[in-house]
A = this chain, B = another copy of it.
Amino acid sequence: MNKQDNILIIGAGLCGSLLALRLAQRGYKVELYESRPDLRTTDISAGRSINLALSDRGFKALRLAGVEDKAREICIPMYGRLIHDTKGNTFSSNYSGREGEYINSISRGDLNGILLTEAEKHENVNIHFNKKCKSVDIENTVAHFKCYETKKEFSIDADVIFGTDGAGSALRKSYYLEKKFLFSYSQNYLTHGYKELEIPADKLGKHQISKDHLHIWPRGEYMLIALPNLDGSFTVTLFLSYDEGEYNFNNLISEEKITEFFEKEFPDALALIPSIKDEFFNNPTGALGTVKCSPWHYQNKTLLMGDAAHAIVPFYGQGMNASFEDVTVFDAILDKYEGDWQTVFKAYEKARKQDTDAIADLAIDNYYEMRDHVANPLFKQKRKIEMDLEKTFPAEYFSKYSMVTFNEEIPYAQAMKKGRAQDKALLNLIADDEVSTSLEMTKDELKIILQKVQEETNEILEEDKIAGLK
């Protein structure tokens, strides 16, 4: 056993704090360092994504660490998308045809606070705030920090270092710069950035639009979304190109232009965002990037987890869930190989990498789906049929979205492969008029559709397999 090892975790965000909690529960000595102040006592959310979508993969990991119930207490269920057109009309599109399948809006800060508080209850965990990791000497497992309070630099020598320090990970940067091994690495940005705005609660502290939905204003090149908060407000996010199209972050520099843009594209939202000018000018513009890399570990010394290993764009609502699932998978690998860190690290990446690659790609797919396709007639017919199939055959049909979001036992890579084939089958069956798209269908009619979709899906998978000569 190596429970005497000094474990250093860099980054006390969602992944790092859950990892610290779980390792503490397993009996390890954990030092957890965080660059920001303690978010339980300081408001540090300004302009950063303050609510997130929590779903079944995330809950599974929280359950493992015994904090699921605490998290559920602060969740707001969202049962589907509510899509707003330019005239202010709305239509809804459920996430699932099954009962009890929904995603949850949750405050990043509140959830992070719960995890920190739980971790701190363990005397084998110490949390250090305002300590920014600058670089890691991976050969000697020494991390170099700067303290934001004393302005002094210092170093921590550990036996094992976990980098859960997010998309801009200092540990990952050290892998890249130290060049001790061939490090495959990618950072890919979308042409669009994002900015957060707010729909406040009404005078009674109530939500001004449905709190049971994730709201979308899809406009092709532009998109607005809104997720509900417990205090009656919504966090609104605008996705917009940096420098292309008629309106973009580079040319929206006057109040007139911003108002013109929102009046034209999002009039119903504009009416609910009183401080649009201040928020637009004061909140930062965030970048939308995907990070992939390999290997995640160096020998028996260091490991990247969470966004540090695989940052993804937010469009599948799976970033936090994927990072939490990292902990689930890592815990199972620990059960198997505990005592041999190198084997644990290797086995962990082997088990996990294809799935984090898949959710990264799925999240990019969903960017286009949300922006462009949710209002497309073919896509709408497909979703309608999928809802009917899930409702009528709850044990037999699972849409790609359901496999990804509500079926935590199906790995992301498998959900992607099957889900993409199924989408292709269904879209082509509809386009070729081979399935009925009438509004009311009997169970027998739906049964025929189910069989056609299954056959076509299997054929697509088989043809892909032959083309891959596998």
Contacts and interface: CB of A to CB of B under 8 A. Distances in A.
A182 B186 contact: no
A381 B57 CA distance: 45
A427 B188 CA distance: 34
A395 interface: no
B467 A428 contact: yes
A77 to B, nearest CB: 29
Interface of A: 182-189, 242, 287, 289, 292, 372-373, 376, 378-379, 420, 423-424, 427-428, 431, 463-464, 466-467, 469
Chain copies in the assembly? 2
A469 B427 contact: yes
Given A184-B186, A378-B466, 20 more contacts: A182-B189, A182-B287, A183-B187, A183-B189, A184-B187, A184-B189, A185-B185, A185-B188, A186-B186, A186-B188, A373-B469, A379-B469, A423-B467, A424-B463, A424-B464, A424-B466, A427-B467, A427-B469, A428-B466, A428-B467
A187 B189 contact: no
A220 B270 CA distance: 60
Given A187-B185, A187-B186, A378 B467 contact: no
Nearest to A464: B424
A212 to B, nearest CB: 27
A467 B189 contact: no
Interface centre among A185, A242, A423 (most CB of B within 10 A): A185
B424 A467 contact: yes
Contacts of A189: 182-184
Contact of A378 (B186, B242, B378, B469): B469
Nearest to A372: B469
A250 to B, nearest CB: 12
A466 to B, nearest CB: 5
Given A466-B428, A469-B378, A185 B186 contact: yes
Nearest to A425: B467
A453 B315 CA distance: 38
Nearest 3 A/B pairs, CB to CB: A186-B186, A424-B467, A182-B189
